[in-house]
Structure 1
Amino acid sequence: MEMTSNHKKKRVLKGLTGILFLTFFLIGIIGCSNDSQTTAAQSSAQKGSSDSSVLRIGYVGSSKDNIPTGVEGWAIQKKLLQQELKKKGIEKFEFHAFPNGPPLNEAIAAGELDIGILGDTPAIVGKSNGLKTKLISQTSINSNVWLITPKNGVKSVEELKGKTVATQLGSYMYRYLIGLLKEKGLDKDVKIVNMLASDAEAALERKDIAAYAFPTNSGPLIKSKGFPVIDEAKDHPELLGSSVVVITDDYLSKYPDLPKIWNDVRKQALEDLLKNPEGFYQFQSEQVGYPVEVMKDSLPLDNLKLDPLSEEGIKLLEGTKKFLVEEEFAKKDFNLKDWIAK
């Protein structure tokens, strides 16, 4: 599917908002109907949402132990977060993996999650389009993107003119790709298709696409296999991403001090892992299943800040929000300060 010029913007905006609108509509009718097609998963989610002793955390990616990675994962595997939240009456912790941010947003809209860990682009789009969330923190900042081509493929971004590239629709990599093509004057001359990162290596091998914008973890892994990198987000600081933690307004109303507890535990976990970086990267490697060097390339320690919302991180969020609003990917602007959980 081609997504260029104004048509591209409308298609993307429709894609990012349509699912949310439909989900909100379905939520409204589930409560006043006896639809026999309501699934057991939906019933379970609704039951869980009424039980405030259960905390349902969604995250992007996959891991061996079905927990998030990064600082938050370090805190969870050491039981630091669970110990503190149990003092507040939260007894059960559920972790749900998603391939990328938009379906995680959909789960939040459906009342199936209480906290989400996802990229800044889908989080901002979700908030702009009506998701009732508050921002707790940034898990990491300056997330890189690797624009990778088939072996013996194009040698530069300029050579992508008239060709097809891919990434995950609605992701921070998508925002980078759109920004890069616009910067190069190619935003009307390159076809962008939606593709999961897990499918991209095979597509590059077959030369189905001229390039793929890879996220952390998979980007350095594919690079290590000899696929050429023709551009990186780190060469365009304004196009770097970040990962954020959001909480639903409903769950926050039940546990108003949860953001502070979360951030205090995160700081404790970060201070701990900085004393043992090799152990941290080994944890990352074991959870994701990629070599340690790939994990180091994906998440430099400098990207982890003790402040849950550092000045540098907030600047990134403001830049991302401005871009999304101007490009009409975000439905409406909002004050970032109003989004932050107090």
Structure 2
Amino acid sequence: MRYFLGWSRKKIASGLLVTSVLFVGACSSGEVGSNGGSSGSGSNSGQVIRIAIGTQDQVINTAVGGATVRELELLEKHLPTDGKYEGVRYEIEWSSYTSGPPITNKMLANQLDIGLMGDFPAVINLIKFQQEAKDANSVFVGTLAYSPTGAGNAVVVPKDSTATSLADLKGGTVSVPFGSAAHGMLLNALADAGLDPETDVELISQAPEVGGASLRTGQIDAHADFVPFGELFPFRGFARKIFDGAQTGVPTLHGIVVRTDFAEEHPEIVVAYLKAILEANQMFREDPEGISAQIQEWSGVDKEVVYMFLGPSGLQPLNPTIGEVQVNSLKNSIATLTKLGRLDNPVDPAEVTNWIDESYLLQAMEEMGLDYDEVVATAEGYQISGEDALTGEAITDPKQAAQFWVQGEETVRSFASIGNMVKALVELQAEGQAANVMFVHDHNNGWKLFAENSYFVSNGDQVAAFLIEADAQTYAASNGGQITAFRGLQDLYAARLPLLAGAQR
């Protein structure tokens, strides 16, 4: 028996405890669950329990629940060792994939017990288990990271492309990993832009690494992808973002699906895995630069891109809960796939609530002494704060703040405004140093942006950043400001501060 969303949190948490004890009692007399002590019989000695987890190492939304848990051995730390688990040997099998659909195939074949994937692949996973599997279903047990607006998915073009909007792609070739969260975003976005995905563009399926190579060689006009490639490819200098998933205003997420037969037989292991994720989330918030650097080693994704997504005021909060926004993300995925004819058998989006079970997460929080509402508040309140690295003033508005990461330094420097950041950067360069990356936020929407790939409007000391050129033009027309690229902004500030390298020291 499972308890789903809609039940009180107290009932859900206690329900798992009761279910676990009843299950253990039915399986073996004389043993109790992992929360209730040891049987002392040692009868499980030699028993092997497989825990097979499919992750996506290069997908930064899964990096904390995947590579971080794996490499820091956090799951091993939380696995039960008493009661029915006394004397057992755990065989943890990790495998990484480029997208969610292969993970679903492995789960259906009972080769994976737990899968980490985006919203569109997750609902396909849930639906396929309902419609095709004979021996088990799958259940959505928690979120890894999410965006309430859809930030993270993106469409990029080659660096020297003249395209500035999706409308400019008419008649062109666009690649995307079919069946991914980005695929769903692209189909929606093209339709919103007045383009028919079947006739106005040629859609081809390419994994991220293939799409990146195709962008470099000019074999495609655009590539749509999920976290982190819409930021990673521009950061590496061969692509430019023309559409952000946040422009859809439709929430997106990556989360955790589990085979129900595994969850029902080993609820304590599912709880242990979620405890490992809760600990990994906390470790990241305590040392975002350090964990970002480690994730770079484990995944090959540049630490600056990891930090952009998951650091303070990042694009994707590490909120493990399944709230209304997360549920709506899954419902919308079903509705979109149905509307576009991508499901063989239509499914009522409301069905998704029957495939969600937050009880394992609630039990994990209870065992770790965590309060549900505080976990949510901590994740959502993880914003840029502290003092301006140039002036010492308090940073009171994270969405007006800016940051840069100096080459060779372990921590990011934060500033209360874009102007202060640029002044500090000019000083830094005058001293012969350089920054790996500069971060700003979209003036209208608060999205975190790479400064070098943004449009700016300056009017005296007032500077605003924008992802979309048209937004910058509208803002400039309203306040009389000047539109410039980041390089031009630096030159403007350098001209105002001719004595930086000398007299001001």
Please, what TM-score do these two structures have when normalized by structure 1?
0.77
3-state SS of the aligned residue for 1:57?
Answer: strand
3-state SS of the aligned residue for 2:171?
Answer: coil
Unaligned 5+ residue runs, structure 2? Answer: 1-46, 360-505
How far off is 1:52 after superposition?
Answer: 6.2
Alpha-carbon distance in structure 2 between the residues aligned to 1:265 and 1:295: 20
Indicate which of 304, 322, 325 corresponds to 1:309: 322
Unaligned 5+ residue runs, structure 1? Answer: 1-50
Give the equivalent residue in structure 2 for 1:14: none
Task: Look up the equivalent residue of 1:264 and give its one-letter code.
Answer: K
Query: RCO (CA 8 Å, sep 6+): is it higher in 1 or 2?
Result: 1
Alignment of 1:81-96 (within 5 A): 81-87=75-81, 88=85, 89=88, 91-96=90-95
Give the equivalent residue in structure 2 for 1:261: 272
Alignment of 1:1-342 (within 5 A): 53-61=49-57, 69-87=63-81, 88=85, 89=88, 91-130=90-129, 132-142=137-147, 144-153=152-161, 154-187=163-196, 188-224=199-235, 225-238=237-250, 240-301=251-312, 303-330=316-343, 331-333=345-347, 335-341=351-357, 342=359
Contact 1:164 1:209 survives alignment (8 Å) = yes
| Runs of 4+ in structure 1 over 6 Å off | none
Contact 1:216 1:299 survives alignment (8 Å) = no
- Structure of higher CA gyration radius: 2
How far off is 1:214 after superposition?
Answer: 2.6
> C-alpha offsets along residues 125-160 of structure 1, whole Å, 9 cap, x if unaligned?
122133521111111102512211123322321111
- The number of equivalent residue pairs is 287
> C-alpha offsets along residues 242-271 of structure 1, whole Å, 9 cap, x if unaligned?
111111122112113444333333223322
3-state SS of the aligned residue for 2:79?
Answer: helix
Alpha-carbon distance in structure 1 between the residues aligned to 2:215 and 2:66: 33
3-state SS of the aligned residue for 1:129?
Answer: helix
Change (3 A) 1:275 1:286: same
Contact 2:216 2:238 survives alignment (8 Å) = no
Please, what TM-score do these two structures have when normalized by structure 2?
0.53
How far off is 1:286 after superposition?
Answer: 1.5
Output the aligned Cα RMSD: 2.3
Change (3 A) 1:272 1:151: closer
3-state SS of the aligned residue for 1:139?
Answer: strand
Structure 1 or 2: larger helix share?
1
3-state SS of the aligned residue for 2:219?
Answer: coil
Give the equivalent residue in structure 2 for 1:40: none
3-state SS of the aligned residue for 2:239?
Answer: coil
How far off is 1:90 after superposition?
Answer: 5.8
